[in-house]
Chains A and B, each alone.
Chain A
Amino acid sequence: MTRGRLATLKVLTALLCLAPLAWVVLRALGVASWSLGANPVEELLNTFGKTALNLLMITLAVTPVRRLTKLNWLVGLRRMLGLFCFTYLVLHFSTYALLDLGLAWDTLLVDITERPYITVGFAALVLMVPLAITSTNGFQRRLGRKWVKLHRLIYPIAVLGVVHYYWQVKADTSEPLFYAFGLLVLFGLRIKHWLGVRAKRRALVDSKPAMATAYQSIEPPQAGDEPRHHGHHESRGHPTQR
Chain B
Amino acid sequence: MSRRDGVIQPSEITPESVFLQRRTLLKAAVAAGLVPSALTRTEAAMIPPSGEFADVKSWPGSTDEKPNTFEDISTYNNYYEFGTGKGDPSNNAHTLVTKPWSVAVTGEAERRGTYTLEDILKPHTLEDRIYRLRCVEAWSMVVPWVGFPLGDLIARFEPNSRAKYVQFFTLEDRDQMPGVRSRVLAWPYREGLTIAEAMHPLALATVGLYGKVLPNQNGAPLRLVVPWKYGFKSIKSIVRIHFTFTEPETSWNMAAPQEYGFYSNVNPDVDHPRWSQATERRLGGGLFSPRIPTRMFNGYADEVAHLYSGLDLAKNY
Contacts and interface: CB of A to CB of B under 8 A. Distances in A.
Interface stretch (B35-43, B212-220, B285-293, B309-317): B285-293
B184 interface: yes
B291 A102 contact: yes
Contacts of A100: 281, 291
A171 B276 contact: no
B73 to A, nearest CB: 8
B75 A41 contact: no
Interface string A32-48: 00001111111010000
Contact of B139 (A39, A117, A167, A170): A39
Contacts of A110: 276
Contact of A38 (B84, B275, B279, B284): B284
A38 B184 contact: no
Nearest to A118: B275
Contacts of B288: 99
B203 to A, nearest CB: 25
Interface of A: prevailing SS:
helix
A108 to B, nearest CB: 11
B287 A115 contact: no
Nearest to A40: B287
Given A37-B76, A115-B274, A117-B274, A171 B84 contact: yes
Interface in A96-126: 99-102, 107, 110-111, 115-117
Contacts of A28: 287
A213 interface: no
B78 to A, nearest CB: 9
A170 B260 CA distance: 11
Nearest to B232: A170
A37 B90 CA distance: 12
* Interface range for B: 20 to 34
B283 to A, nearest CB: 5
Interface string A183-218: 000000000000000000000000000000000000
Contacts, number: 59
Given A100-B291, A171-B256, A172-B84, A38 B75 contact: yes
Interface of B: prevailing SS:
loop
Contacts of A37: 75-76, 86-87
A39 B274 contact: no
Interface string A10-37: 0000000000000000001000000011
A34 to B, nearest CB: 13
Nearest to A170: B137
B72 interface: yes
Most chain A beta carbons < 10 A, residue from B137, B185, B252, B274: B274
Contacts of B279: 107
Contact of A36 (B80, B185, B281, B287): B287
Interface string B233-266: 0000000000000000000100110000000000
Contact of B281 (A41, A116, A171, A172): A41
A111 B279 CA distance: 13
A168 interface: yes
Contacts of A44: 287
Contacts of B84: 171-172
Interface residues of A, number: 25
A105 to B, nearest CB: 14
B255 to A, nearest CB: 6
A228 to B, nearest CB: 40
A174 interface: yes
B182 interface: yes
Interface string B181-213: 010110000000000000000000000000000
B139 A171 contact: no
Contact of B287 (A38, A99, A107, A167): A99
A41 B141 CA distance: 15
B68 interface: yes
Contacts of A115: 274-276
A102 B287 CA distance: 11
23 contacts: A28-B287, A37-B76, A37-B87, A38-B68, A38-B76, A38-B86, A38-B141, A38-B284, A39-B281, A39-B283, A40-B286, A99-B287, A99-B288, A101-B291, A111-B276, A115-B274, A115-B275, A115-B276, A117-B274, A170-B137, A171-B256, A172-B80, A172-B182
Interface of B: 68, 71-72, 75-76, 80, 84, 86-87, 137, 139, 141, 182, 184-185, 252, 255-256, 274-276, 279, 281, 283-284, 286-288, 290-291
> What 8 pairs between A and B have smallest CB-CB spacing?
A38-B76, A172-B84, A38-B72, A102-B290, A172-B184, A40-B287, A38-B283, A171-B184
Given A28-B287, A41-B287, 7 more contacts: A37-B76, A102-B291, A107-B279, A110-B276, A170-B137, A174-B182, A174-B184
